[in-house]
Amino acid sequence: MNRGLWLGVCAALAATALWAGCGGIRVKDDTPDGLLDSLLQLIRAGQYDRAAELFDYNQEALKKNPDWYTFSSTQRYEIVEKMREDRALMLSDWARRQDGLEQMTTKLLRVRGDTASGSIIAGDREKVRVKMRKVEDKWRLSDFHPL
């Protein structure tokens, strides 16, 4: 490959990487309030698939199926993917029914060890209550309860 073509390919790849990084919402999942803010930003942007990735599906599946870890990894993957798709649809449906989504804010209510709770608020009305838990070094949503 000649030098000019090589430099052109490198420049195109660098521009693509820069463009992709600037246009996206950076998820802040190292703190509960960062996770809650990221959730609201993703919902506002209509990125329901990415918002659905913020949930702890293994814990949710374990609650429903105490024998969760006896399932094959393929079965667990397929179940989690279906749960994630369903959650993205639920978030989309919820967002469509909300007036003033852009004016909504978040409020961290409580942090106790590896668990936390918070709210999405519109004016003085609580619209959603969420629960979060720390999974390894990241915070994940364990409950999303519209009010």
Per-residue pLDDT tens digits for 45-98: 999 999 999 999 999 999 999 999 999 999 999 999 999 999 999 999 999 999
pLDDT at 109 exceeding the cut of 90:
yes
Band of residue 2 on the pLDDT scale cut at 50, 70, 90: low
The residue ranking higher by pLDDT, 131 or 4, is 131
- E-strand spans in the chain? 105-112, 115-122, 125-135, 138-146
As a whole number, the mean pLDDT across the chain is: 88
For range 91-109, the mean pLDDT: 96
Residue boundaries of the structural domains of the chain: 24-146
pLDDT at 15 exceeding the cut of 50:
no
CATH architecture entry for 24-146: Roll (3.10)
The reported pLDDT for the residue numbered 5 is: 45
pLDDT at 142 exceeding the cut of 50:
yes
The reported pLDDT for the residue numbered 84 is: 98
- The amino acid at 47: Q
Q: Which residues contact 8 (CB under 8 A, 6 or more apart)?
A: none
Q: Which residues contact 57 (CB under 8 A, 6 or more apart)?
A: 80, 83, 84
Percentage of residues in the chain with pLDDT exceeding 70?
84
Q: pTM of the full predicted structure?
A: 0.82
Return the residue matching tokens 């364990």.
Answer: 142
CA atoms within 13 A on the CB side of 33: 7
SS3 call for 60: helix
The reported pLDDT for the residue numbered 3 is: 53
